[in-house]
Amino acid sequence: MIRWHPLLLGILSAMALGATPVEAKVTVVFVDPARFTDIGGLESDPSRNLSDIEAYLRLLADRYLPPQIALRIEVLDISLAGRSRQPPRATWPVRSMTGEADWPRFELRYTLESGDRTSAPVEETVVDRNYLRRLEWRYQSLALPYEMRALEEWFKVRFAERSAQGRPSLG
């Protein structure tokens, strides 16, 4: 049985009563990125990858979070899809994807805030073990399409779909 956090019950009650909306906010913190399992390297710029991930999480918050909720996400570890390798006679490394335990993975800790109330921190691992399935067109132009799809699917299930059903976003 799922227990809902009292903060979220209060948030949903306020939403139901027509509370004045405030801007949805997300704060993204990368905790010790130098120790991340795989954020890119020779084949991609790690700082650019972090920037792209942060920007995408902000976009998801704008798209899916109820306006009364502020979200703080601490990224504890990242492993990009595939593995970096240097093919024979190649002039630069490439990222090879086999679907064999090389899926995108994020270790996250998040809290939700509304007014002066803050939820207890929740740690989750976000993975997409079937990441090599066909990509929808909207991900194909993104720098990290498999990672962005995994984050969006997690975000929708964790926050948007539960809020739309009238249930809190935290279990």
**What are the pLDDT digits (tens) for 4-22?**
444 444 444 444 334 444 4
Triad 28, 19, 63: Cα angle to 5° = 35
Position 111 in a domain:
yes
pTM over 0.75: no
Position 127 in a domain:
yes
Position 109 in a domain:
yes
Position 54 in a domain:
yes
Q: Which of 52-56, 133-137, 157-161 has the highest mean pLDDT?
A: 52-56
Backbone angles phi, psi at 2, to 5 degrees: -90, 135
Query: How many structural domains compose the chain?
Result: 1
Position 62 in a domain:
yes
- Mean pLDDT in the chain? 77
- Domain span at residue 55 reads 21-82+94-161
Position 169 in a domain:
no
Position 15 in a domain:
no
